[in-house]
Amino acid sequence: MAKVAFIGLGVMGFPMAGHLKTKGGHDVTVYNRTAEKAAAWVDTFSGKSAPTPAEAADGCDFVFVCVGNDDDLRQVTSGEKGVLSTMKRGSVLIDNTTASAEVARELYEAAKAKSVDFIDAPVSGGQAGAENGVLTVMCGGDEAVFEKAKPVIDAYARMVGLMGPAGSGQLTKMMNQICIAGVVQGLAEAVHFGKRAGLDIEKVVDVISKGAAGSWQMENRHKTMNQGKYDFGFAVDWMRKDLGIVLTEARRNGAKLPLTALVDQFYGDIQALGGNRWDTSSLLARLEK
C-alpha cells in the first residue's frame, strides 16, 4: 500500500482516484478546487481530502494530477500551493491531464530539481473507461520510475505503456487525437451520405463494420449519430483544446496535418452551433444543418 494524493476530481479524476483506493488499496488523499466535489468523493469512498494541493501531496509516495490544461497544471504543481512545494525526495508526480509535451518536459525538470520524479501519463478511454478502470495510459519519463509507478497506475488502467522520455506520453496522445479527428469526420460523411441515399444506416453498419471500414467510432457512435443525439461523451471543447495542442506541436516539428487542421475548424462550427459540450461525433450536425 502506498501513500497517494489525487488532484482534480472531474469526470475522469473522480473515478480514477476511487480505483486507487478501492482496487489499488492505497491510502488516498484528494484535493479538488470546488470543495463540494472533494466532499462527495470522501463520502463515496470513505477517503480523506485536503484544503490545498500542497497539503494533499505532503508525505506522499505518488501524486496524481488530472486537471484541464497546461495553465491549470502549472497552478496545481508549480504554483504557490502546488504539489511540488511539499513532495518528498524520491516521490513520483504522475500527470494524467491532456497537456502539451512542452509543459511535460518543463515539469520533469522542475521535479528533478527537487529530487522528485515525473511521468506524463495522459489517458484515453473516456468517462466509461475511467469509471470501469480500463483506461489506456500513455507514459513519458524514465524507465526505472515508470516501473515503480506502473503497478499503482494499473488500478485504473487496462493498458499502460512507456513511450519514451518526458513528453512522449503527450506526443502519443496527440497521435491518438489525430486518428480520432479523421475517423470521426469520415464516419460523419458516410452517415450523412447514407441518409441522403435512403439507406437503412443500422443495416449498413451491421455489414460494413465487419470489414475494412469498421472502427471504434463506428461501433460506438453510429446509433446516436443516426438519432442526432450528442449530449454525452467527449466534449467538443476538450477536443478543440487537444487539437490546438496537436497543431502547435506540428508547427514545431514540421508535420503536415491538413485534415486535422480542417476538422479542427469544423469543430469550431459545432461550437458556433452551441455544441461546446456535445460529443465529438457531432461533426455530423454541421453537415445536416
Residues that bind ligand NAP (CB under 6 A): 8-13, 32-34, 37, 66-68, 72, 75-76, 97-98, 123-124, 126-127, 234, 238
Q: For residues 62 and 64, which CB has a smaller minimum distance to ligand NAP in the complex?
A: 64
Closest distance to ligand NAP from the beta carbon of 242 (Å)? 6
- Least separation, in Å, of the C-beta of 77 and ligand NAP? 10
Which DSSP category does 281 fall into? G
Q: Report, in Å, the least distance between residue 175 CB and ligand NAP.
A: 14
Rounded least distance, CB 83 to ligand NAP, Å: 11
Alpha-carbon gap, residue 177 to 11, rounded angstroms: 19
Q: Which three cell numbers stand for residue 39?
A: 466532499
Cα–Cα distance for residue pair 27/169, rounded to 1 Å: 26
In whole angstroms, what is the distance from residue 197 CA to residue 193 CA? 6
Residue 133, C-alpha cell as written in the block: 478502470
Give the rounded distance of the alpha carbon of 104 from its chain centre.
Answer: 14
**In the complex with ligand NAP, which residue's Cβ is closer, 108 or 238?**
238
Torsion angles phi and psi, residue 3, rounded to 5: -95, 120
Of 78 and 127, CB closest to ligand NAP: 127
Cβ-proximal residue to ligand NAP, closest one: 10
Catalytic pick from 23, 148, 150, 173? Answer: 173
Nearer to ligand NAP, 204 or 276 (CB): 276
Nearer to ligand NAP, 244 or 268 (CB): 244
**Catalytic annotation present for 37:** no
Residue 260 amino acid letter:
T
- The three-state secondary structure class of 135 is strand
Considering the complex, state which of residue 76 and residue 236 has its C-beta at the smaller distance from ligand NAP.
Answer: 76
**Hunting for cell 484515453 — which residue is that?**
124
Q: How far apart are CA 285 and CA 184, in angstroms?
A: 12
Q: How far is the CB of 75 from ligand NAP (least distance, A)?
A: 4
- Among residues 210, 152, 146, the alpha carbon closest in space to that of 17 is found at 152
Rounded CA-CA distance 228/289 in Å is 11
The one-character DSSP state at 87 is P
For Cα atoms 228, 231, 236, give the angle at the middle one, nearest 5 degrees: 95
**Least distance between ligand NAP and beta carbon 70 (Å):** 9
Active site residues: 173
